[in-house]
Structure 1
Amino acid sequence: MSQFQEYAVYKGDELICIGTKEECAKELNVQPDYIYWLTTPTAKRRLAKRKNPEKCKVALRL
């Protein structure tokens, strides 16, 4: 099993980046904790309530 968890970050259907949360955070110019937060159930509920949820960034753990 890999020591580092990989993430895929999407905006709508467009893939923005794939990598560790540190690599994705560097690519998006955000903190690594934000990438992790995007994978939580709380983030998914909040983003689903937005007017245009398809325009939100979402992350998946691979």
Structure 2
Amino acid sequence: MMEKEYAFYRGEEILATGTIAEIARTVGVKVETIKWYKYPSSKKRSTYSSLVPLDDEEDVS
């Protein structure tokens, strides 16, 4: 099974896409930091940075 892929945003700018490990490497932070953005507590504390799952099965019409 392939790892889930995400898009990492800072504000409205997309900084990186890929797995959590790839995004952490690209942005220059720990994997744990990127994982934190998946939790509801991060969404309550910060609206500036966000981690959005990329869904391959979603039909965009």
Q: TM-score, normalised by structure 1?
A: 0.76
Structure 1, unaligned runs of 5 or more: 48-52
| 1:4-61 per-position Cα deviation (integer Å, ceiling 9, x unaligned) | 01111001111111000000000111111211110110100011xxxxx4xx221112
**Deviation beyond 2 Å, 4+ runs, structure 1:** none
Per the alignment, residue 45 of structure 1 pairs with 44
Q: CA RMSD in A?
A: 1.2
Identical-pair percentage: 31
How many residue pairs are counted as aligned between the two chains? 54
Query: Quick check: which one's helix share is greater?
Result: 1
Structure 2, unaligned runs of 5 or more: 55-61
